[in-house]
Amino acid sequence: MPKDKAVLGSEHLLCDKVQLAMLILFFSVWGIDTLSYFVFRVSTVLVGLTSFPLLLLPAILSLGFGTYLVSKSHETVFGEKAGHPRLIDSGVYSWVRHPMYLGTLMVCLGFFFAMTSLLSLAVWIVFFLFYDKMATYEELDLGRIFVEEYAAYQRRVPKWHSRLQRRKD
């Protein structure tokens, strides 16, 4: 590993490949299950249990919030000027410690709400477990690099669920 890469923290070696595989798997399962509902009327889609307009609101909110999290976290991380590594704890990183991962999960959840496929929900749960494992791996490395600063960040900012209210520090 290059010296500067070690200073900035690291991802698990398979992180990007598994993320891509999980996204492909989720959308393949979701698409096939949805298509089989409309074509063959055989699927795990639960559209009959609730009306589509009721599912549209959580679908739009999940897609919108997920897209916002991914966009803002990418803008924050990749918009940083090169220089001395620092812990990013502002913007969406002051809401949750892993906004890129959470945003991706929220986008997938939005698709689940649009067409409630139980098979895609099962894949989503596995996807979440994978992200949780990767986030834990990254947090151990960041804790090693930033020590007390990262420990304080972990106490202040939740790993997954967002605290939308302002904190008084």
Tens of pLDDT, residue by residue over 52-90, are 777 889 999 999 999 999 999 999 888 766 667 788 899
Residue 166 belongs to a domain: no
Is the model more confident about 10 or about 63?
63
Residue 151 belongs to a domain: yes
Residue 6 belongs to a domain: no
Question: Which residue's structure tokens are 């949750």?
Answer: 96
Residue 1 belongs to a domain: no
Phi, psi dihedral angles at 117 (to 5 degrees)? -90, 115
Residues 6+ apart with CB under 8 A from 127: 22, 26, 105, 108
Domain range for 42: 14-156
| pLDDT class of 99 with cuts at 50, 70, 90 | very high
Residue (of 140, 63, 127) closest to 101 by Cα position? 127
Question: Which residue's structure tokens are 């930033």?
Answer: 146
Residue 167 belongs to a domain: no
The residue type of 150 is Y
Residue 130 belongs to a domain: yes
Per the structure, the count of domains in the chain is 1
The structure's pTM equals: 0.85
